[in-house]
Amino acid sequence: MPDSRPAKKSAAGPTKRLGRSAAPDDGKVTRLFAGTKAATAKRAAAKTADAEAPAAAPAETATNPLDRLLHAREARFTGSLSLISLALAYMDWGLHLANAPGRRSELALEASRQWTRLLSPDAWTQPLPGDYRFHDEAWAHPPFNVFAQSFLLAEEWWRHATNDLPGVAKPHRDVVSFVTRQILDVFSPSNCPATNPEVIRATVAQGGLNFLKGYQHFLEDLQRRAQGLPLDGAGRFAVGKDVAATPGKVVFRNELMELIQYEPTTETVRPEPILVVPAWIMKYYILDLSPNNSLIRYLVGQGYTVFCISWRNPGPELRDTALDDYRRLGVMAALDAIQVIAGAAQVHACGYCLGGTLLSTAAAAMARDGDRRLASVTLLAAQTDFTEAGELQLFTDASQLALLDDVMWRQGYLDSSQMAGTFEMLRSNELIWSRIIKTYLLGEREQSSDLMAWSADATRMPFRMHSEYLRQMFLRNDLAEGRYRVDDRPIAVQEIRAPIFAVGTERDHVAPWHSVYKIHLLYDGDITFALTNGGHNAGIVSEPGHPHRHYHLARRPGLGPYLSPEEWLAAATEHEGSWWPAWVAWLNEHSGGPISPPPLGAADKGYPTLAPAPGTYVRES
């Protein structure tokens, strides 16, 4: 039933709550959405009043509705990519190349050298790091080695042609290079059954049965996609049983999130609870996968009271939800609840990916307002400066964002399949082509894992929030440059006073570690930075005992000298194994002595337990 209890006041002042409800008997959550269109427009105007940067136009009036409908329909045939943006990039590159006869001569000479190299095996090139298409031993023997080298040398030539042309704007150069690489990947000899020795070997051994199996897999996948089901195998990981299975209770719910408090497993706990703020681009349980690799379960076992936000999977009814609503109804509402339930004066806050960026804005606003409830801040693969945000920047120029706005305007949200397609393009060899070869040409189903099951359990993004996030962070870099506003006043990351533990991953396509490392430029306090091997997800889900794990670790004291990323890496100490124990040791240094665990929830203070973990929002599809 709806909660009639008045909102509490935090150390920073009153926290607004748009609504909170307990789970009714039928298991469906009452959907509350506060604020009229007039209030939404007023809040949007206040957020964009900063004269230092061009304001984002109100979502409902930025473009003519007829144009929006046209662009949304166009996007269905372009994969939500802006053809105008692509054309401008290639025009920039093409015109500069046409006006550079010397450069064209160099490229022609280099092409002739590539042919000469093809005839001289001693001069052959090697695949780039992370490219395993030609890893099989058969690729080292004729004629397959010639096929592979022809492709790799052509790839190398196009890399030089698209990257080394003076005068081309860097964003356009990056787009041309990326798209050209995607086109080349289509024609890789590894993708053709007649030129791939692994496929030929399997065909001979099975008498062509691999193609029959692959065709069956193809039909099954088509049917599953049409029904909106995960690919074969992912469904065997049940939420609440196999994944997201750490015991706990939902102790708070509003229209954007559920707050889960986990049951203690130790006789005593540290007095400072941990609040985990996950990204809302996917379900929260990337940090609570199987029992053996759950970061949340590990923290509970280390003697901490852990709370985690489980974001709602929004539909069109939340289209006008703002980016700041996630801070206010997420981080701040969770801190209010934790302070009452655990009786804690301070909290360790940990944000992953988008959740880390959100936590940074909340921590900066709290510091500005004199709210000292954060004992520490941990940022996992989270960016605060977006000037080097990696290949995702290819999809965030003005033209691309205008098209994306029109797509989201029509449906009220960004669909999970559209977001998944973007991430797959960033790692097309690994996430698209290698799976096609294995599943449809070799006829082998990839063994599903908990991480794959989580990846298939995608979420949507509210129209207004996602538009604000892309414009204010990616396009204008407002947070790093002091233009981001909370409650109509600017905030600055440098105002944060709590110590920071930041983690980057070596092969991160979403938040490159050089970008994560920029926290050193924005914050002059105490920073401990860890660089772990792996990618955006696997580098964070790096449990103790996992083979082939290592990380670099170094601390910069408050007001300490700045080191470039390369200098930091050379000076940092390398460790074998998981970075989790190092983080817990750091948390222990910033925590008080052990105390008795707090109860689950606080019914007498307005925070009853509403449902067993993992709650109801995580099950929304």
Active-site residue numbers? Answer: 353
What is the C-alpha separation between 167 and 148, in angstroms, rounded?
33
Q: Report the relative pairing of strands 489-490 and 500-505 from DSSP bridges.
A: unpaired
Q: Which of 325, 248, 298 is nearest to 39 (CA)?
A: 325
Contact status, residue 216 vs residue 442, Cβ threshold 8 Å:
no
Where helices occur in 164-234 by DSSP H, the ranges are 170-186, 197-206, 209-226
**Which tokens sit at 549?**
């794990």
Residue 615: how many CB atoms within 10 A of its CB? Answer: 27
Q: Which of 381, 383, 384 is nearest to 484 (CA)?
A: 384
Task: Please enumerate in sequence order all residues whose Cβ is within 8 A of that of 196, keeping only pairs 6 or more positions apart, or say none.
Answer: 189, 190, 437, 441
What is the C-alpha separation between 172 and 174, in angstroms, rounded?
5
Q: Which of 230, 240, 229 is nearest to 294 (CA)?
A: 240
Q: Specify the long-range contacts of residues 176-182, CB closer than 8 Å, at least 24 apart.
A: 176/89, 176/90, 176/92, 176/93, 178/391, 178/394, 179/86, 179/89, 179/90, 181/155, 182/425, 182/428
Residue 559: how many CB atoms within 10 A of its CB? Answer: 8
Contact status, residue 43 vs residue 28, Cβ threshold 8 Å:
no
**Phi, psi at residue 598, to the nearest 5°?**
-75, 160
**Which tokens sit at 202?**
């399997």
Exposed, middle or buried by CB within 10 Å (0-12, 13-18, 19+), for 129?
exposed
- What letter does residue 471 receive in the DSSP assignment? I
**Which tokens sit at 525?**
């306090």
**Which tokens sit at 545?**
């005992």
For the chain, the distance separating the N- and C-terminal CA atoms, rounded to the nearest angstrom, is 23
The type of residue at 448 is S
Angle value at C-alpha 278, between 302 and 226, nearest 5 degrees: 125
Please name the residue that has the structure tokens 């110590």: 499
What is the C-alpha separation between 454 and 432, in angstroms, rounded?
17
Peptide bond into 557 cis (omega under 30): no
**Phi, psi at residue 417, to the nearest 5°?**
-65, -35
Where helices occur in 275-394 by DSSP H, the ranges are 295-301, 323-326, 333-342, 354-368
Q: Which of 195, 230, 212 is nearest to 443 (CA)?
A: 212
Catalogue the E-assigned strands of 19-108.
Answer: none
List b or e across 154-171, with b for residues whose CB sees 16 or more CB atoms inside 10 angstroms: ebeebeebbeebeebeeb
